[in-house]
Amino acid sequence: MTTATTTTTTGVELDALAAAAAAAAPIWRAADAATRASWLRAAADALDAHVDELVTIADEETRLGETRLRGEVGRTTGQLRLFAAVVEEGSYLELTVDDADPSAAPPRPDLRRMLVGVGPVAVFSASNFPFAFSVAGGDTASALAAGNPVIVKAHSGHPRLSERTAAIVASALVEAGAPEGSLALVEGREAGNALVQHPVIQAAGFTGSLGGGRALFDLASGRPDPIPFYGELGSVNPVVITDAAVAARGESLAQGLVGSFTLGVGQFCTKPGVVFVPAGAGFEDLVAGFAAGASGGPLLTDRITEAFPAGIEHLEADPSVGVVAQGLPAEQGSAQPIVLSTDGAAVAARPETLLEECFGPVTLLVRYSSAEELHAALEAVPGSLTATLHSEASDDVAAVLEVLTRKAGRVLFAGWPTGVAVTWSQQHGGPWPATTSLHTSVGATAIRRFLRPVVFQDAPEALLPEVLRDDALARLPHRRNGVLHTGR
């Protein structure tokens, strides 16, 4: 665990990095699919080659452990390689053609549409994933894949790792043929604020706290030329368990819940923070039995360490809240797991108190005595990254599922939400405050955040981007005159 870094990038230094990114942007945008994919794979290969060094630094700064960190490096390089495949496959371009039709009323010109990179992107690193949501994480990978240089704001919780990762990836990109200025790093809160306001920056990606993200969101929106800000800010990730599910598999559900909310010392953005359980079903006792043996551990930063007990006190101050169980005693400076409980009526009445995200190993069990009480409490839940429903075939859960689908971007029917598969179909985003947009920050379609549409009307073929020319279209997924073609 580290305190905040004192290194700060100056305004002059930021201007130089931005100028280099601006010069690199047209080269990235013009690079063909094979070239751009090769650059992404070169970055992945370089990280894999330096995994021992990087994991050592990361463990010194975060104490997340070698096993977790090695796995996270694998996820990070896997993301880079996934986006290389996305670039080569080509459907992300949304190529669309309407051929000229003089007989139409009014006459229709030749229209050819595609998505292009927005330009240099700012990425803000997260504390809880020092590789996968950091310097070379999913935001950076998807922005590069879209054809944009990236300037990363390092997280103060792992400054040395950020610096070394940036140096490795930036060097690998240039050695593979990418231009100078493809990836850069800035440090310090003031530099981060200046970065999101810099006129060269055309979009930003962020993973972090609601307060910090909202402040940056406001800066991005308040620019003379506002830019999109894609923030992942906070999520309580509601879980609903039915009476029939408790009767059928209550013990395994209780064990799974404890394992999930304590995973990574409760510092996953997908942690199940609010769990709706049927009153009188005995689920609280089952959870207490498993929670009593759960261990905690050190939190990632001093700020998170200080905020965790304050968050617990805030919840416990509500008259409806009681302690169900606590985990094994924690060492000084570490967090002890805790399970709290309340009821559905209290949640519906005071959601601003009971449904505030608390980062760390805590979950809140919410008892409900009727379908009406459950529905009223669920309606009070803020937008989340995930929602989970544990039910049996005999349950009528249509109304519950309708609410959960409105509240979250990923709905689970088995298992627990901690852990996010990096795939073509993944959605890691949800209604506010989970994210500031409807887009995902994980998976193939994360690339869409850093693209904008351009239409070419009656353009001579020689002046069209190569992918919009007829010979290229025959090989690429596209839509022509309303008909979808898969390419070859």
Q: Is 269 a catalytic residue?
A: yes
Structure tokens at 168: 């490795």
Strand partners, 206: 124, 231
Q: How far apart are CA 27 and CA 45, in angstroms?
A: 22
* Distance (Å, whole) CA 146 – CA 39: 12
Of 72, 187, 232, 373, the active-site residue reads 232
Number of Cβ within a 10 Å radius of residue 427: 20
| Distance (Å) of CA 54 to CA 38, 48, 50 | 22, 9, 6
For residues 140 and 86, give the distance between their C-alpha atoms in angstroms, rounded to a whole number: 14
Sort strands 111-117 and 451-457 into parallel, antiparallel or unpaired.
antiparallel
DSSP assignments along 327-358, one per residue: -SPPPTTEEPPEEEEEEHHHHHH-HHHHTS--
**Helix (H) / strand (E) containing 51:** helix 51-62
CA distance 109 to 458: 6
How many whole angstroms separate alpha carbon 27 and alpha carbon 351?
A: 49
**Residue 232 a catalytic site member:** yes
Cα–Cα distance list, 397 to 180, 275, 381, 390 (Å): 55, 16, 17, 10
| Active-site residue, from 72, 187, 269, 284 | 269
Vertex 255: Cα angle to 250 and 260 (nearest 5):
125
Task: Return the active site residues.
Answer: 232, 269
